[in-house]
Amino acid sequence: MVRPPVEQDRRSFLGQLAFGVVAFSGPVALAEALIQTPASTEGPFYPDRLPLDTDNDLLILNDSLSPAVGEITHLTGRVLSAAGEPIRNATVEIWQTDANGVYIHSQSAGRDQYDTNFQGFGRFLTGTKGDYYFRTIKPVQYGFRTPHIHVAVYMENRRVLTTQFYNRAEPSNKKDMLVRRIRDPQALATVMVDFKPIPESIIGEFAANCDIVLGMTPREPDHE
């Protein structure tokens, strides 16, 4: 499908920006030091009805001109095998609350306060380097939960990992029941994310980088 010129320009800009954010976020850990990303619960609010737009830009719905409210965050990383090999054609999904702490799920508390400009859910298919990129908002606390972003990874239409990313700087992490379930400090560190202010951003954007390490080895391509 051919996108309208405005949409094409926006997608091109986001793609270019993603590469800059990855560079800003710092180097990827050495392969021999990789630790598998720990699994976590899906939670009750995986969308029961997906938004019409499910791309990797959660701030703009379709061709709307009104962006979602929140602190803009460029979330990047790579999907890797335990040996540090990039995994391509993996589908990465994220979902999270809006800036008011409300999910797009129909049973989420405070639905009448939901930011209708926030997509709330997005997907990205990794390329040859295993890279993924989302433009979203910095997660906020809701209820008794510390701020977090839900993440799922699929291979060949099968979900192979469900986890959550956390803001490393949040004091409430220490009391969060799901954070505390991850007893291995090294495993816990893999889902703790630094939300770094982007120095050149005039609107206060953040860069967040987190690799996803799966306990699997990419399959060799079939040869005819």
85-133 pLDDT, tens digit each: 999 999 999 999 999 999 999 999 999 999 999 999 999 999 999 999 9
Do residues 31 and 83 lie in contact, with contact meaning Cβ atoms separated by under 8 Å?
Answer: yes
C-alpha–C-alpha distance, residues 81 and 196, integer Å:
26
Tell me whether residue 50 is in a domain: yes
pLDDT score of 4 more than 60: no
Strands 206-209 and 195-197: antiparallel
For the stretch 9-62, pLDDT in tens is 444 445 555 555 554 544 444 446 699 999 999 999 999 999 989 999 999 988
Do residues 70 and 137 lie in contact, with contact meaning Cβ atoms separated by under 8 Å?
Answer: yes
Tell me whether residue 219 is in a domain: no
Do residues 147 and 167 lie in contact, with contact meaning Cβ atoms separated by under 8 Å?
Answer: yes
For the domain that residue 50 is a member of, what is the CATH number? Answer: 2.60.130.10
Instruction: Identify the residue with better confidence: 64 or 179.
Output: 179
C-alpha–C-alpha distance, residues 74 and 64, integer Å:
20
pLDDT score of 199 more than 50: yes
Tell me whether residue 5 is in a domain: no
Tell me whether residue 8 is in a domain: no
- What distance separates the 2 farthest-apart alpha carbons in the chain? 55
Do residues 34 and 216 lie in contact, with contact meaning Cβ atoms separated by under 8 Å?
Answer: no
Name the average pLDDT for the chain. Answer: 87
| Residue 2 identity (one-letter amino acid) | V
| Residue 69 identity (one-letter amino acid) | V
Tell me whether residue 221 is in a domain: no
Tell me whether residue 28 is in a domain: no
Tell me whether residue 13 is in a domain: no
For residue 107, the cross-strand partners are: none
Residue 158, token pair as written in the block: 């099968």
Tell me whether residue 3 is in a domain: no
Range of the domain at 85: 36-214
Number of domains in the chain: 1
Question: What HEC string does 17-41 produce?
Answer: HHHHHHHHHCCCCCHHHCCCCCCCC
